[in-house]
Structure 1
């Protein structure tokens, strides 16, 4: 069960979460004509009257670009301003997750993006660990990731997550924690809602943006930090067999942060994960604003 933050942002104003409702005829509900973001935030460990948002500017930029696929012109500055107001209104006291959503808010039955109203809503939940920090087990999904030629994968479009949902449930119902999806070329793509990395012979390998992956913000953070720490990071097509013999495998995402993989199918992975742990430790330190080199990644919001 989720614990929702007390206020939501809907139709241009803040309302109590329980009263934030939409019509059953809302266009986005029927056609998946929406795009969403996800952002982590924590109370500042050094300042009780301040909230820290992780890479807020990048999240606002990505949502703005996703909105363009819906023919919705929404500036990242406007999104960020709304998120700041949302945080001040709710004043969270525990780690939390923000979910902004741009959507076709009109009521109608025609699948289209022209001559239809759009809007922005925001809600939030208290959120600690999304996946077990001790590691997760994964299966290779029978469902394949969409292709960019048939779906706008450069956007975080809500309709596309039916595939992720089916893959996740297939994995859980067959005894695993998470699913790994392949792309149409038979290469490793991503998990149900996370990017994937492996470590082989001291180098970090991850599918490139040409492999139909989501251009994850946490993924970008991991790559940058890894290179700053002196690791070689290679972005290239990744074979299924490489997963099974990797020294380490981990997932990255806003909700998942950096989560180790302990097993793929019936192949257990090494219990020692020095690279994963080093990256996880550094990302955590950055989100808590304890790494001056990455101060620009942390967006403080004053509650005063």
Structure 2
């Protein structure tokens, strides 16, 4: 059961969440002609009269870049302001997740991106831990990640997530928490909605963009934090066998944050995860606006009238 925030932004206005509805003939519903974003927010632990959003500008930039694949121009500055207004109108009191989505809102029947109306909406819901912070189990999915030559993987396009949905259900129904997808070259790609990191001999390793991964914002944050902490970072292809013998493995994403992996298939991973825990603790402090070195990653929204 989800606890949705009471106000949504829909068709250029703020309305009660239950009134934000689309037609069953909506183009995006039939053809996946949509792109979405996701960002987390929390009430400031030091000041309940304000909300903290993590990397608001970067999230808005990525969604607007994704919208270009749909033949839709959306200003990051406009989207930022709508999200700020959205938060102020909802005045959330718990950790929450914001979902903006751009989509083909026309009612046409032909698959196309030209000569069809576009629009976007924003809604939110309360959200705690998406995955267990104590560690999760993963299986290697039988499904393969799409290739950029046949799908715009630099965008967060909704149609791509059918593969994620298939892989997630396959994993859960076979006794695992999450799935790890390989790319068409047989290299480690990503999880169903998260990027993958491994640690070997003190080095932090993750697949590069040429491996058909999503340009994850949490991924970028982890790499930046690691470099600033003096942890060697490498972006390169990862083999399945290397994943199974890694010293540490974790997944990261907006919803998942940093989720340690304790088991892959039948292979148990070490319980000692010093680099994962160091990065996890650092990221948590940053999102709570307790780290002066990363103040520019946190957008503070005052809640008027509280």
Report the TM-score, using the length of structure 2 for normalisation. Answer: 0.99
2:149 is aligned with 1:149: yes
What is the aligned partner in structure 1 of residue 90 from structure 2? 90
What is the aligned partner in structure 2 of residue 265 from structure 1? 265
What is the aligned partner in structure 2 of residue 53 from structure 1? 53
Distance (whole Å) between structure 2 residues aligned to residue 169 and residue 145 of structure 1: 15
Any idea what the Cα deviations from partners look like across 1:190-244, whole Å, max 9, x if unmatched? Answer: 0000000000000011000110000000000000001111100000000000111
Distance (whole Å) between structure 2 residues aligned to residue 111 and residue 126 of structure 1: 34
How far the C-alpha of 1:63 sits from its partner, in A, is 0.3
Task: Give me the CA root mean square deviation.
Answer: 0.5
2:77 is aligned with 1:77: yes
What is the aligned partner in structure 1 of residue 289 from structure 2? 289
Tell me the secondary structure at the aligned position of residue 150 of structure 2. Answer: coil
Distance (whole Å) between structure 1 residues aligned to residue 100 and residue 137 of structure 2: 29
For structure 1, the residue ranges without an aligned partner over 5 or more in a row are none
How far the C-alpha of 1:2 sits from its partner, in A, is 1.1
- Please show how residues 143-292 of structure 1 align to structure 2 within 5 Å: 143-292=143-292
Tell me the secondary structure at the aligned position of residue 119 of structure 2. Answer: strand
2:112 is aligned with 1:112: yes
How far the C-alpha of 1:101 sits from its partner, in A, is 0.1
Distance (whole Å) between structure 2 residues aligned to residue 266 and residue 243 of structure 1: 12
Distance (whole Å) between structure 1 residues aligned to residue 81 and residue 285 of structure 2: 25
Distance (whole Å) between structure 2 residues aligned to residue 9 and residue 75 of structure 1: 16
How far the C-alpha of 1:280 sits from its partner, in A, is 0.4
Farther off after superposition, 44-53 or 193-202: 44-53
What is the aligned partner in structure 2 of residue 124 from structure 1? 124
Tell me the secondary structure at the aligned position of residue 14 of structure 2. Answer: strand
For structure 2, the residue ranges without an aligned partner over 5 or more in a row are none
How far the C-alpha of 1:248 sits from its partner, in A, is 0.3
Distance (whole Å) between structure 1 residues aligned to residue 205 and residue 275 of structure 2: 12
What is the aligned partner in structure 2 of residue 103 from structure 1? 103
How far the C-alpha of 1:94 sits from its partner, in A, is 0.3
